[in-house]
Amino acid sequence: PEFTLLEWYRPDWSLTRLMDEVEALVLNAASAFGLTLEPFPRLTYQQAFEDTVGLNPHRCSAQDLLQVANAQISGDFSTLDRDGLLDLVASHLVEPKLPREGVILTEFPASKASLAKTGLSSKGDTVALRAELYIRGLEIANAYQELVDAAEQAQRFQQDLHYRENHQLACVPNPGQLIAALQNGFPECAGVALGLDRLLMVLLGCDNIEEVLSFTTTRA
């Protein structure tokens, strides 16, 4: 099946300002469907983790995460590294407890930065300058304060390549064009990708994404 994304970038905008725009877009779309949504609260990744499982995701150990996973999730997770355990606990325990009416999650662990900048949280932890919008447990949008440092971006890609090789994962193509663009002077900006199909699911009260797709797997 094909999915539809809205993706845009704002030069010289902060991540906070961009998420304000995302919020306004979603609230206006809801209004067009005859729905009333309240502005979305902002919640840090750390707050969400501590409220749900009692761990600081920036400082807890892999063993701490494994203990929580073994106690609350069925399966054998002994082969997962710390990042894998973070994802496991987040997807199985934290995300299902996020406010159903909508929430913007901010300040992700630095290891989840990908193409985003990192910075310091108000509590002094290094965090990824990322934000995600969740409604009804669905991730609707994913935004970055874009990393525009070519050297750091190249280093991250090399680290990711080594990780993939060590874990027998498929390697991704060398991002030469992106690095070249950054070297030539890419402007400071914030960018976001919003899943239009997922947003339609929320606005129409659908439980299955196939209900909003023109060509599903069974009809492709």
Q: If we measure between CA atoms, which residue out of 90, 110, 92 comes closest to residue 50?
A: 90
Give yes or no: residues 166 and 70 share one domain: no
Give yes or no: residues 86 and 163 share one domain: no
**Total domains present in the chain:** 3
Six token digits for residue 89: 């606990």
Q: What are phi and psi of 43, to 5 degrees?
A: -140, 130
Q: Which residue, of 83, 98, 113, is where some domain finishes?
A: 98
The whole-angstrom separation of Cα 92 and Cα 41 is 21
**Residue 138, burial from CB neighbour count under 10 angstroms (0-12, 13-18, 19+):** middle
Q: 213 lies in a domain?
A: no
Q: 210 lies in a domain?
A: no
The whole-angstrom separation of Cα 77 and Cα 84 is 9
Q: 37 lies in a domain?
A: yes
Give yes or no: residues 37 and 83 share one domain: no
Q: 116 lies in a domain?
A: yes
Give yes or no: residues 93 and 28 share one domain: no
The whole-angstrom separation of Cα 61 and Cα 76 is 18
Give yes or no: residues 35 and 124 share one domain: yes
- Three-class secondary structure of residue 220 per DSSP: coil
Give yes or no: residues 53 and 153 share one domain: no
Q: 35 lies in a domain?
A: yes
Give yes or no: residues 113 and 69 share one domain: no
**Alpha carbon of residue 28 to chain centroid:** 23
Give yes or no: residues 71 and 61 share one domain: yes
Range of the domain at 69: 43-98
Q: 218 lies in a domain?
A: no
pLDDT tens, position by position, 100-114: 999 999 999 999 999
Give yes or no: residues 50 and 158 share one domain: no
Size (the chain), residues: 220
- Three-class secondary structure of residue 95 per DSSP: helix
The whole-angstrom separation of Cα 63 and Cα 196 is 38
Each residue's pLDDT tens digit in the chain (220 positions)? 678 999 999 999 999 999 999 999 999 999 999 999 999 999 999 999 999 999 999 999 999 999 999 999 999 999 999 999 999 999 999 999 999 999 999 999 999 999 999 999 988 999 999 999 999 999 999 999 999 999 999 999 999 888 888 888 888 888 889 999 999 988 999 999 999 999 999 999 999 999 999 877 777 6
Give yes or no: residues 133 and 201 share one domain: yes
